[in-house]
Amino acid sequence: MLYPVILAGGIGTRLWPLSRASLPKQFIHFPELHASLFQNTLKRLEGLPELASPIVLCNTEQRFLVAEQLRTLGYDDAVILLEPVGRSTAPAVALAAQWIQHRDPEGELLVLSSDHSIHDVDAFQSAILAGLKQSRQARLVTFGIVPGSPETAYGYIKTGAGLESSALEVDQFVEKPDLDTAKQYLAEGSYLWNSGMFLFRADAYLDQLDSLAKDISDHCKAAYEALQTGPDFQFIPEDVFSLCRSDSIDYAVMEKTDAAAVIPLDAGWSDLGAWDSMWMSEEQDKDGNVVSGDVVTHDVRNSYVQSSSRLIAAVGLENAVIVESPDAVLVTDMAHSQDVKRIVEQLQTMKRQEADTHTLVHRPWGSFQSLASGSGYQVKHIVVKPGAALSLQMHHKRAEHWTVIKGKAIVTCGEQEQELQVNESVFIPLGAKHRLVNEQSEMLEVIEVQVGEYLGEDDIVRFEDRYGRTT
């Protein structure tokens, strides 16, 4: 069987303000893509022979986003491995390979990033089929992108002699070059962009890892043996996994093995790493612009302009990026789009919540959106899915007022439980145990007014929770 192994733990800081820690770029529903990048990663595999359900590696904070997006695609039996700390791709894939090998000794891994865009699905699947012929000969296959320009943001693979079914030997992995070197690579024609996608048998990868990076192999074996299995998620123990050093598949294995092969891939690939790659990957108008949302332009060329919540008017710009969200606006020259992550770093140093969270925050039970805030108060719009419930909880530093504006709520406050209809409200005193439940088949919507000396999301003590979030 062919097991898709999806690496979904990144944050995508260069696509701020759209991508943030609470909702990274791979889980955002881009209108032009009709789904999230994560979901499209799985959808483009449909039709491949002997395709198993996916194995997804992500961090604990993103587990409910992953579970919900898998559910909407019908993957009720997907495996979600939760990494307590990031250790790069070599250890992550080792854990997935062990999971597969224990259940399917001949199983093959198709390792994919969750944030790539590929336009030609047929060409992509043809490359996978060609790669399978190599992986079944115990080769470790990577996919090299046929370069269309001298890019400096990617690593390169220098190709060697030809193998069966369009595959090539790997002569050398090359670090990201400067512009002159990238132009030389393009002119020579024997270099491919390193896509970070791989295909190999589980046993072949684990054997090579054990031979070439035994310390990583040993730590991953120990972490897998201590894996904590739950009904929805598989928890990798932090005390064991954190001892493993961080390293990529490229450095730990692919650059050292003599079993590497590369399949050239020309399928309209992009890693969508920054706003300039978003601009290049989407259809441009007659002026070279990519525009979405409520946008009016005059004399604007070769620019990316996106509005989420209000009108953007742009005049006399060229090679610009303007991205608006309800709480932040990014303006940059296209040439500096790789440096957006520096802004995020500054915001994190300043402890600004805009670095990590949106005004609309998703939770396993639904979502909430901050509507207004000031000294000692905050107003939120809470949406609870049918059959869902918030945790039984209390706050040390704030009281809350709930008013139902749609649906019917079951409210626990202290020792009492009551039903609230539209236009009815309840007061939750500071320190009282409380819970909001939606037992109906339609969405429940509530306006929450918080009042207190501190209104941070960390002022919460959970006593019971359907989603495993109690301490």
**Crossing angle (nearest 10°) for helices 202-212 and 89-101:** 130
pTM for this predicted structure: 0.85
Q: What is the pLDDT of residues 190-240, one digit of tens each?
A: 999 999 999 999 999 999 999 999 999 999 999 999 999 888 899 999 999
Q: What is the DSSP letter of 389?
A: B
CATH 3.90.550.10 placement within the chain: 2-270
Backbone angles phi, psi at 406, to 5 degrees: -155, 135
pLDDT at residue 471 above 70? no
pLDDT at residue 135 above 60? yes
pLDDT at residue 178 above 80? yes
| DSSP line for 287-314 | TS-EEESSEEEES-BS-EEE-SSS-EEE
Cα(234)–Cα(103) distance, rounded to whole angstroms?
Answer: 15
Q: What is the pLDDT of residues 227-254, one digit of tens each?
A: 998 888 999 999 999 999 999 999 999 9
Cα(414)–Cα(411) distance, rounded to whole angstroms?
Answer: 10
pLDDT at residue 164 above 90? no
% residues pLDDT > 90 (the chain): 82
Cα(83)–Cα(66) distance, rounded to whole angstroms?
Answer: 13
| Higher local confidence (pLDDT), 323 or 28 | 323
Strands 191-201 and 228-229, sheet pairing = unpaired
Sheet holding 425-428, edge to edge: 360-363, 366-374, 377-384, 444-452, 398-406, 425-428
Segment 161-172 shows an average pLDDT of 89
Q: 2-270 sits in which CATH class?
A: alpha beta
Please provide the CATH number assigned to the domain covering 360-464.
Answer: 2.60.120.10
- Report the pLDDT value the prediction gives residue 229, as an integer from 0 to 100: 87
pLDDT at residue 49 above 90? yes
Which H helix or E strand runs over 182? Answer: helix 179-188
CATH 2.60.120.10 placement within the chain: 360-464
Segment 361-386 shows an average pLDDT of 93
pLDDT at residue 379 above 90? yes
